[in-house]
Amino acid sequence: MLRVFALALALLCLTSVAQAESPATEPTTDIEEVLQQLRSRSFDDKAAAIDALAHSGHPRADALLKALQDRRLLLDRANDRIVLGERADGGWQLHDPLSEADLGTVESRAAAPITINNRLRRQIENLQAVVGLNNPDATLRRAAAISLIGTKDPDLLAALRERRAREDNTSVAAAIDTTLNTAALYSEDSDLNARLNAIEALSGSLEPTVRNALRSRLDSDAPSERKAVETALKRIDARTARYQTADTLFFGLSLGSVLLLAAIGLAITFGVMGVINMAHGELIMLGAYTTFVVQQIFPQGHEWSLLVAIPAAFLISGFVGVLIERFVIRYLYGRPLETLLATFGISLILQQAVRVIFSPLNRSVVTPEWMSGAWQINPVFSLTFNRLYIIAFALTVFLGLLLVLKKTRLGLQVRAVSQNRQTARGLGIRSDRINALTFGLGSGIAGVAGVALAQLTNVGPNLGQAYIIDSFMVVVFGGVGNLWGTLTAAFSLGIANKLLEPVSGAVLAKIFVLVFIILFIQRKPRGLFPQRGRAAEE
């Protein structure tokens, strides 16, 4: 009972710290003493010190606890005092624990982190959770409540109940209820009805700890409780499965958008121009290397260098594409098999050139801060930002291209040339120029795809090869010359791949998809959305 009071007192102090950031009322000597107590070898002493530190109400208390947790609180052996420190060049960079004033660097051996065991760690976490429970920010309060799920500590439960009484945010209140209900499952003296109510209340929760708590009641003596637990577990599993499907779909969509990015340039060169460009993958690779080089040029600009890399990659790959068209493909129009061979040769040359210039080893590109992390929707379902951005980016590129082809003069001319070269020429369209520009456009988009891919995988000379067959499959599956077909094909293949993966493993999934497409093309040689009419039959 005494402890509860002590804890409540501590709570009040910490709350005041967190809420008002009021200046410390206690004298600073107090906290110095408490810190010195941490030098003790005994974990009990340390536990007492931690408690005291948490109770001190000092504005630095929270930061110091965190430092202790992260092993950044050191014993400075020379001065026999507690300091803050970070690893620096094989030694320690020391700071004053209260003022954070620079205390210089010392050798590695001159200082040692204060060790804590799991009990102390747990104690710190609980203390922090209690602080968090009273944080003015509702999201942090909710996070604190969730972090306490599974606890049996009566003090913490009391704190939770106390907070629940005052809580006016429904989502935080629900989280606290979950925590309390879980605790009710573990409690020995609770009566059956209370437990049944708790089970009923928990039956939709996705927290793994809740599931474990429920499972622990499966061997209950009361048949009604066993039945209730089974129903609850079933409901949880069903919900989890639903979210896992959503997760798979999300991964499928993100794979689909990668495929879309890789294939969309090909859809132009192959679909609109009828040119087989086996070097398409290497144009993607060039885009990825452009990203890498841009980051090398602006080492400090990881956050915004992508904005430079995208146009740069478009221009570089586009330029290489125009060169390929002018010097090779131009002479091979109407001979698709020869075009295939020649561009394959070009792909070998580009790969080898990159190997010679950048070394055959993979390079990695730094992901900007705003692209890392995830949007955690619930415990089993989160959307990672880089994939979200890739999906958005792929769709943007797709719509942009659609606009270019449908709304601009260039697009009109491209479509005219692709449908009837002779007539277009008769109308005064310079088909030479249009061919070069179209090919440049398709190649430029490959470059842009490379920028996106560089965020997901390592950048290496073989990057392009990994995507060329897949891209062709997407274009052929969707129907040549149909951008919407390409979109549909990319997403359906992406999703199909990810749906199969858990069943058969990644490699077999890929094989299944390939075999499916091989069979599909034989069933419908013109893809999902075939072009019809006389022109298509030539």
Partner 1 sequence: MNLRDTFRRDRVFDVVRPGTRTIKPGELDTGGKYLLYMENITVSFDGFKALNDLTLYIEPGELRCIIGPNGAGKSTMMDVITGKTRPDQGTCFFGQTLDLTRMSETEIAGAGIGRKFQKPTVFPEHTAAENLELAMAGQKTTWHTLVHPLNGEQRDRIAATLNTVGLLDRHDHVAGALSHGQKQWLEIAMVLMQQPKLLLVDEPIAGMTRQEVERTAELLQQLAGEHSVVVVEHDMEFIRSIASTVTVLHQGSVLAEGKMQDVQNDPKVIEVYLGE
Partner 2 sequence: MRHSDLKTALTDRAARWFIGILFGAVALVVLLNQLIPADSGLHVSSYTVTLLGKYLCYALLAMALDLVWGYCGILSLGHGAFFALGGYAMGMYLMRQIGDRGVYGNPVLPDFMVFLNWQELPWYWLGSHSFLFTMVLIALVPGLLAFVFGWLAFRSRVTGVYLSIITQALTYALMLAFFRNELGFGGNNGLTDFKDILGFSLREDSTRVALLIATAIALALAFVLCRYITGSRMGRVVMAVRDGESRARFLGYRTEHYKLWIFTLSAVLAGIAGALYVPQVGIINPGEFSPLNSIELVVWVAVGGRATLYGAVIGAILVNYGKTVFTGIMPEAWLFALGGLFVAVTLFLPRGLVGLADNVRQRLRKSDGNNSNGTANDDQPEAPHEPA
Q: Residues 162-201: x/- map of binding to partner 2 (CB under 8 A)?
A: ----------------------------------------
Contact 270, 480 (CB under 8 A): yes
Burial zone of 466 (CB within 10 Å; 0-12 exposed, 13-18 middle, 19+ buried): middle
Place of tokens 């904005």: 307
396 phi/psi in degrees, rounded to 5: -60, -45
Binding-site member from 41, 166, 409, 534 for partner 1 (CB under 8 A):
534
Kindly state the smallest distance separating residue 533's Cβ from partner 1, in Å: 4
Give the SS3 label for residue 134.
coil
Sketch the per residue contact string, 240 through 279, with partner 2: x for CB under 8 A, - otherwise. ----------------------------------x-x---
- Shortest Å distance, C-beta 536 to partner 1: 9
Residue number, 409 or 534, with CB nearest to partner 1: 534
The answer to whether residues 228 and 200 touch, using CB atoms and an 8 Å cutoff, is: yes
Q: Residue 357: which of partner 1, partner 2, none does it interact with, CB under 5 to 8 A by kind?
A: none
Selection from partner 1, partner 2, none that 533 binds (CB < 5 to 8 A by kind) is partner 1
CA distances from 273 to 336, 376, 415, 436 (A): 11, 44, 9, 10
Q: Which does 534 bind (CB under 5 to 8 A by kind): partner 1, partner 2, none?
A: partner 1
Query: Which residues lie below 8 Å from residue 71, measured CB to CB, with a gap of 6+?
Result: 113, 114, 115
Q: Applying CB under 8 A, which of residues 99, 507, 532, 534 lies at the interface with partner 2?
A: 507
Two tokens at 430?
């310079």
Comparison of 166 and 532: residue with beta carbon closer to partner 1: 532
CB closer to partner 2 out of 171 and 504: 504
> Which CB, 235 or 510, lies closer to partner 2?
510
Burial class (CB in 10 A: 0-12, 13-18, 19+), 448: buried
The one among 100, 469, 484, 502 contacting partner 2 by CB under 8 A? 469
**Dist. CA 20–CA 17, nearest whole Å:** 6
For partner 1, give the closer residue by CB, 150 or 530.
530
Burial class of residue 533 in the structure, from the number of CB atoms within 10 Å of its CB (0-12 exposed, 13-18 middle, 19+ buried): exposed
Relative orientation angle of helices 170-186 and 192-202, to the nearest 10 degrees: 130
Residue from 240, 514, 530, 531 in contact with partner 2 (CB under 8 A): 514
27 binds, among partner 1, partner 2, none (CB under 5 to 8 A by kind): none
- Asked if 538 touches partner 2 (CB under 8 A), the answer is yes
Cα–Cα distance, 232 to 216 (Å, whole number)? 13
Amino acid at 42: S
Q: Which of 109, 523, 532, 534 binds partner 2 (CB under 8 A)?
A: 523
Residue 361, number of CB atoms within 10 A of its CB: 9
Q: How many CB atoms lie within 10 A of CB 471?
A: 28
| CB-based contacts of 329, cutoff 8 Å, min separation 6 | 275, 277, 339, 342, 343, 439
Q: If you ran DSSP here, which 8-state letter would residue 530 be given?
A: -
Taking CB under 8 A as the criterion, the residue among 525, 532, 533, 534 binding partner 2 is 525
Q: Count the site residues for partner 2 by CB under 8 A.
A: 42
Site residues for partner 2, 275-314, by CB under 8 A, read 276
CA angle 472-399-244, nearest 5°?
A: 70
Q: How far is the CB of 322 from partner 2 (least distance, A)?
A: 16
Residues of this chain, 514-533, that bind partner 1 according to CB under 8 A: 532-533
Among residues 493, 497, 459, 498, the alpha carbon closest in space to that of 474 is found at: 493
Q: Which of 418/497 has CB closer to partner 1?
A: 418
Q: Give the list of residues 6+ apart from residue 104 with CB closer than 8 angstroms, or none.
A: 93, 94
Q: How far is the CB of 504 from partner 1 (least distance, A)?
A: 28
Instruction: Establish if 328 lies at the interface with partner 2 (CB under 8 A).
Output: yes
Q: Which does 521 bind (CB under 5 to 8 A by kind): partner 2, partner 1, none?
A: partner 2
Q: Give the amino acid at 73.
A: L
In the block, which residue shows the tokens 């010359």?
A: 481
Which lies closer to partner 1 via its Cβ, residue 109 or residue 534?
534
Binding residue for partner 2, selected from 348, 377, 392, 399, defined by CB under 8 A: 348
Nearer to partner 2, 243 or 520 (CB): 520
Taking the least distance from each CB to partner 2, the nearer of 8 and 514 is 514
Q: Are strands 374-378 and 102-106 parallel, antiparallel or unpaired?
A: unpaired
Beta partners for residue 459, in sequence order:
363
Q: Which does 299 bind (CB under 5 to 8 A by kind): partner 2, partner 1, none?
A: none
Give least dist CB 336 to partner 2, A.
5
Contact 129, 143 (CB under 8 A): no
Residue 472 touches which of partner 1, partner 2, none (Cβ within 5-8 Å per kind):
partner 2
With 0-12 / 13-18 / 19 or more C-beta atoms within 10 angstroms meaning exposed / middle / buried, residue 401 is buried
- Of the pair 375, 484, the CB lying nearest partner 1 is at 484
- Give the count of residues interacting with partner 1 (CB under 8 A): 3
Query: Residue 352 binds what, of partner 1, partner 2, none (CB under 5 to 8 Å, by partner type)?
Result: partner 2
What is the rounded end-to-end Cα distance, in angstroms, of the chain? 91
Q: How many CB atoms lie within 10 A of CB 422?
A: 9
| Contact set with partner 2 (CB under 8 A) | 274, 276, 328, 331-332, 335-342, 344-349, 351-353, 355-356, 469, 472-473, 476, 507-508, 510-511, 514-515, 517-519, 521-523, 525, 538
| Contact set with partner 1 (CB under 8 A) | 532-534
